């Protein structure tokens, strides 16, 4: 079966009009929107930082300069590694990991409850409540957390009136606000994949296990969790990737001393004006995140096709 | 067994309360701040009920401009990503099986790629294309709206595709085949069979795409150029100086959202009821007035309450004026300030007095020992008659050795007053 006959069969099945729409749309999406921009960013990250007129000129050669900068820091710096940027990078990944775990622990019981008690009007209301915060702007959600956790925020004022503390606790500096805001932002992405899978679990399995005397934790450990694995992994993947790549919440809720890696990228683009370096940082973030996710999927034996169900 | 059930139930209730408190609490608090009069958004202390922030919001040119841009970008994104998502889903159903997994991975990847990366790659790609083609710096390839639509569609199309795939799974391909057998052309079969079947999915994909576009920040922040969307404007406002008009906007969005969701829920419910009874949908239309319908439908009740609430609020807002209350609060504040100033003045006088009295004692051995034990310090500042002595400034010099103080009584003029044993009790001779 060669390409020409595949193409012929495709056109036969869909007709010229529809067939060309499909080909053009998919081609545009795949090549122009997804693949070429990524490749171009990859290419760009290996270029020198040049003013526009010199682009394409003799100085426009390939270089590892930006990756070196991320790893080793500026030349002649005190440390032999770029401690600041690498530190931020590691902290971002670790924090994203903990946000993912937090969301998983918080959402699993609810997903199970909703999935098992599905259908009644009561659960529909609960689902509605779940969706409403998600429709509100990301910025506004982060802003709400600032109202709550700020120096003169609700929690501090309340604790001070109750006499629990004398001076406001700086939740922003302690990053408590940031973690709760990030966890909050992606709750829905954790809960719905799990809910969808658990909903299709046959209740008889659970009852059989219960009849045979399994305690509740073993029912979850041996039946529900293995069954819900695709949902759990797809939820975790999305939450991890999105919180590692979050920009709004760290910008609004982040403390003055703690940067998120995306903020550094943002600075290279908007304040530093060094686009190739920003692109190099973005490539590193993307690659490392993908490697982490893929190895976690390999570890838990989940396929890529399960994501997004 | 029964008691165990009860415990379980209590736990479940508690958990649900915590969960939804976490989920809805921030929104509720933000909503409250929209009606509080202080210039910085805060729920406590409550000062005055006011609606001025909605006025401020409506008169904010940048917000309104952002809203306009957001609507333009949103509609462009909806059209583009629904078209792309539909094509992707259809392609996936008929692609060569060996390629399917690869294809799926590539089109699903934009959901997982951080939005920042998508924004950067879009910006870099079109910028370089622009240079390559030799266009000037302000060609349409640099246009913020154009770039934003493309950047957002990259991943929103994947969302749409997932919606279509879910619907297509239930599609019976026999229907298309039957249509083709009966002599329909491909396009006819597509238009008359498949598209009507996909209509609900198209609608929900469009809504999803619009919402995702409207609230997107990470991608847009790199691509917006000269056309900041609402989210970008909001982010800048939140980062640099804010007033409660943002809360007012959030409140509006939340209320609109709830309203839309409830309307959707009610219509859904009505359809279900109709189907369950075997009646055509039109037959249950207008059942909204029936109390019997309300009884079984919490969503309708919520809708009713919301409507009544909205009407009441609007009529109240048109008659209520927060000015009087504001003046009151200002008066209170001034009073408070006055009191504080008086207090400080008194303290200063006391301090002077203390110094004058302590003067002869400066050379005495008790100079450093006069300070109270650190543990007792927080209660005293400003409250005791000898406020100044206990002021934080003095604490730095204080030796944190309570034992040494015990030796001192009787040596200074004030002797026992400063003895640690006195500090535990309420300070004597507190001014009024």
Chain B partners within 8 Å of A36 (Cβ): 125
Chain A partners within 8 Å of B28 (Cβ): none
Answer yes or no: do A121 and B378 touch at CB < 8 A: no
Which band of pLDDT confidence, cut at 50, 70 and 90, is reported for residue B361? low
Q: Name the more confident of A23 and A74.
A: A23
Residue B36, strand partner residues? B49
Q: Any idea where the domains of chain A sit in the sequence?
A: 63-306
Question: pLDDT at residue A88 above 50?
Answer: yes
Residue B338, strand partner residues? none
Question: pLDDT at residue B421 above 60?
Answer: no
Positive or negative torsion for Cα A291, A297, A303, A308: negative
Question: pLDDT at residue B307 above 80?
Answer: no
Tell me what pLDDT residue B73 has: 92
Which band of pLDDT confidence, cut at 50, 70 and 90, is reported for residue B398? very low
Tell me what pLDDT residue B84 has: 92
Residue of A nearest to B217 (CA): A248
To the nearest whole angstrom, how far is the Cα of A282 from the nearest Cα of chain B? Answer: 6
pTM across the whole model:
0.73
Q: How many CB pairs under 8 A join A and B?
A: 262
Of A22, A33, A242, the CB nearest to B154: A33
Of B29, B217, B253, the CB nearest to A136: B253
Positive or negative torsion for Cα B10, B14, B15, B17: positive
Answer yes or no: do A158 and B44 touch at CB < 8 A: yes
Answer yes or no: do B43 and A154 touch at CB < 8 A: yes
Tell me what pLDDT residue B427 has: 42
Which band of pLDDT confidence, cut at 50, 70 and 90, is reported for residue B298? low
Question: pLDDT at residue A100 above 50?
Answer: yes
Residue of B nearest to A267 (CA): B222
Answer yes or no: do B15 and A110 touch at CB < 8 A: yes
B62-243: CATH topology = MetI-like fold (1.10.3720)
Residue of A nearest to B232 (CA): A139
Average pLDDT over residues A119-147: 77
Average pLDDT over residues B14-37: 82
Answer yes or no: do A147 and B33 touch at CB < 8 A: yes
Cβ atoms < 10 Å from Cβ of A75: 8
Q: Any idea where the domains of chain B sit in the sequence?
A: 62-243, 324-423
According to DSSP, residue B80 is labeled H
To the nearest whole angstrom, how far is the Cα of A280 from the nearest Cα of chain B? Answer: 10
Judge if ipTM > 0.90. Answer: no
The 10 Å CB-count burial string (b at 16+, else e) for A127-142 is bbbbebbbbbbbbbbb
> Taking the CA atoms of chain A, what radius of gyration do you get in angstroms?
25
Question: pLDDT at residue A305 above 70?
Answer: no
Answer yes or no: do B44 and A34 touch at CB < 8 A: no
Q: If you average pLDDT over each of A3-12, A15-24, B265-274, which comes out highest?
A: A15-24
Q: What's the CA gap between B257 and B46, in Å, rounded?
A: 26
Phi and psi dihedrals of A62, rounded to 5? -80, 150
Answer yes or no: do A139 and B265 touch at CB < 8 A: no
Question: pLDDT at residue A33 above 90?
Answer: no
Chain B partners within 8 Å of A132 (Cβ): 24, 27, 254, 257-258, 261
To the nearest whole angstrom, how far is the Cα of B324 from the nearest Cα of chain A? Answer: 25
Whole-number average pLDDT of chain B: 73
- Taking the Cβ of residue B406 and every Cβ of chain A, the question of whether any pair is shorter than 8 Å is answered with no
Per cent of chain B over pLDDT 70 is 68
Q: What's the CA gap between B355 and A162, in Å, rounded?
A: 36
Chain B partners within 8 Å of A17 (Cβ): 186-187
Q: What's the CA gap between B221 and B206, in Å, rounded?
A: 23
Residue of B nearest to A269 (CA): B222
Give the three-class secondary structure for B138. Answer: coil
Answer yes or no: do B112 and A269 touch at CB < 8 A: no
Per cent of chain A over pLDDT 90 is 1
Where helices occur in B359-401 by DSSP H, the ranges are 387-390, 392-397
Which band of pLDDT confidence, cut at 50, 70 and 90, is reported for residue B408? very low
Q: What's the CA gap between A195 and B349, in Å, rounded?
A: 69
Q: Give residue-wise pLDDT tens across range B184-212.
A: 877 788 888 888 888 888 988 898 899 88
Those of residues 317-376 in B touching chain A at CB distance below 8 A are: none
- In this predicted structure, which of A63-72, A122-131, A268-277 has the lowest mean pLDDT? A63-72
Those of residues 212-251 in B touching chain A at CB distance below 8 A are: 214-218, 221-222, 230-231, 234-235, 238-239, 242, 246-247, 249-250
Domain A63-306 class in CATH = mainly alpha
Tell me what pLDDT residue B373 has: 42
Instruction: Show Cβ contacts of residue B116 under 8 Å, excluding neighbours closer than 6 positions.
Output: A245, A247, A262, A265, A266, A282, A285, B218, B219, B222
Question: pLDDT at residue B159 above 60?
Answer: yes
Cβ atoms < 10 Å from Cβ of A210: 14
Average pLDDT over residues A84-103: 87
Of B26, B110, B221, the CB nearest to A247: B221
H helix or E strand, kind and range, residue A265:
helix A261-270
Question: pLDDT at residue B80 above 90?
Answer: yes
- In this predicted structure, which of A28-42, A182-196, B269-283 has the lowest mean pLDDT? B269-283
Question: pLDDT at residue B400 above 50?
Answer: no
Of B208, B212, B222, the closest CA to residue B116 belongs to: B222
Average pLDDT over residues A43-70: 71
Residue B49, strand partner residues? B36
Per cent of chain A over pLDDT 70 is 85
Q: Give residue-wise pLDDT tens across range B217-269.
A: 888 888 888 888 888 888 888 777 677 777 788 888 878 877 877 777 777 77
Residue in the structure block whose two tokens are 């870099």: B124
């Amino acid at each position: 079966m060669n390409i020409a006959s595949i193409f012929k069969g495709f056109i036969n099945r869909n007709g010229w009009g529809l067939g060309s729409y499909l080909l053009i749309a998919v081609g545009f999406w795949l090549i122009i929107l997804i693949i070429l921009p990524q490749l171009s960013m990859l290419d760009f990250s290996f270029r020198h930082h040049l003013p526009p007129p010199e682009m394409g000129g003799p100085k426009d050669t390939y270089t590892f300069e930006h990756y070196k900068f991320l790893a080793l820091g500026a030349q002649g710096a005190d440390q032999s590694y770029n401690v600041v940027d690498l530190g931020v990078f590691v902290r971002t990944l670790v924090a994203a990991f903990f946000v993912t775990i937090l969301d998983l622990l918080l959402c699993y019981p609810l997903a199970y409850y909703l999935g098992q008690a599905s259908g009644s009007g009561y659960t529909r209301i609960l689902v509605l409540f779940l969706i409403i915060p998600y429709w509100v702007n990301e910025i506004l959600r982060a802003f709400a957390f600032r109202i709550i956790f700020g120096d003169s925020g609700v929690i501090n004022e309340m604790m001070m009136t109750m006499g629990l503390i004398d001076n406001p606790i700086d939740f922003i500096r302690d990053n408590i606000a940031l973690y709760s805001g990030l966890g909050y932002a992606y709750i829905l992405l954790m809960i719905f994949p799990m809910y969808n899978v658990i909903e299709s679990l046959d209740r008889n399995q659970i009852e059989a296990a219960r009849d045979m005397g399994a305690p509740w934790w073993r029912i979850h450990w041996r039946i529900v969790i293995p069954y819900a694995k695709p949902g759990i992994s797809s939820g975790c993947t999305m939450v991890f990737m999105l919180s590692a790549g979050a920009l709004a919440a760290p910008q609004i809720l982040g403390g003055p001393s703690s940067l998120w890696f995306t903020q550094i990228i943002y600075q290279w683009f908007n304040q530093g004006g060094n686009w190739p370096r920003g692109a190099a940082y973005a490539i590193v973030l993307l690659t490392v995140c993908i490697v982490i996710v893929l190895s976690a999927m390999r570890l838990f034996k989940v396929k890529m096709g399960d994501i997004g169900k | 067994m029964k008691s165990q059930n009860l415990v379980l139930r209590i736990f479940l209730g508690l958990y649900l309360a915590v969960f939804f408190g976490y989920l809805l609490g921030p929104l509720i608090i933000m909503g409250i701040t929209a009606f509080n009069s202080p210039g910085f958004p805060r729920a406590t202390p409550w000062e005055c009920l006011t609606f001025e922030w909605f006025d401020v919001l409506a008169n904010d040119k940048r917000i309104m401009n952002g809203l306009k841009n957001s609507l333009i970008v949103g509609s462009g994104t909806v059209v583009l990503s629904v078209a792309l998502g539909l094509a992707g889903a259809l392609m996936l159903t008929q692609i060569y099986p060996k390629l399917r997994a690869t294809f799926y991975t590539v089109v699903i990847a934009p959901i997982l790629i951080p939005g920042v990366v998508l924004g950067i790659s879009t910006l870099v790609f079109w910028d370089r294309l622009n240079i390559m083609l030799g266009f000037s710096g302000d060609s349409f390839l640099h246009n913020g709206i154009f770039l934003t639509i493309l950047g957002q569609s990259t991943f929103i199309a994947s969302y749409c595709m997932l919606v279509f795939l879910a619907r297509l799974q239930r599609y019976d391909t026999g229907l298309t085949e039957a249509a083709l057998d009966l002599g329909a052309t491909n396009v006819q079969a597509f238009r008359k069979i498949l598209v009507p079947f996909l209509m609900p999915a198209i609608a929900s994909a469009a809504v999803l795409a619009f919402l995702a576009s409207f609230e997107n920040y990470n991608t847009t922040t790199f691509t917006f150029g000269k056309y900041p969307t609402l989210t970008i404007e909001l982010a800048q406002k939140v980062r640099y100086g804010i007033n409660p008009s943002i809360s007012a906007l959030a409140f509006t969005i939340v209320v609109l959202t709830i309203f839309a969701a409830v309307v959707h829920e009610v219509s859904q419910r009505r359809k279900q009821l109709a189907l369950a009874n075997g009646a055509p949908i039109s037959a249950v239309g207008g059942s909204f007035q029936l109390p019997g319908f309300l009884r079984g439908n919490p969503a309708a009740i919520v809708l009713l309450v919301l409507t009544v609430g909205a009407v009441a609020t609007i009529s109240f807002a048109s008659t209520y004026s927060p000015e009087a209350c504001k003046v009151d609060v200002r008066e209170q504040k001034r009073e408070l300030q006055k009191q504080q100033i008086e207090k400080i003045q008194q303290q200063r006088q006391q301090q002077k007095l203390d110094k004058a009295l302590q003067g002869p004692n400066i050379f005495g051995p008790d100079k450093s020992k006069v300070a109270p034990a650190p543990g007792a310090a927080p209660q005293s500042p400003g409250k005791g008659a000898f406020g100044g002595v206990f002021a934080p400034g003095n604490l730095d010099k204080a030796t944190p050795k309570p034992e040494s103080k015990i030796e001192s009584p009787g040596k200074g003029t004030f002797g026992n007053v400063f003895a640690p044993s006195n500090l535990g009790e309420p300070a004597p001779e507190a001014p009024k």
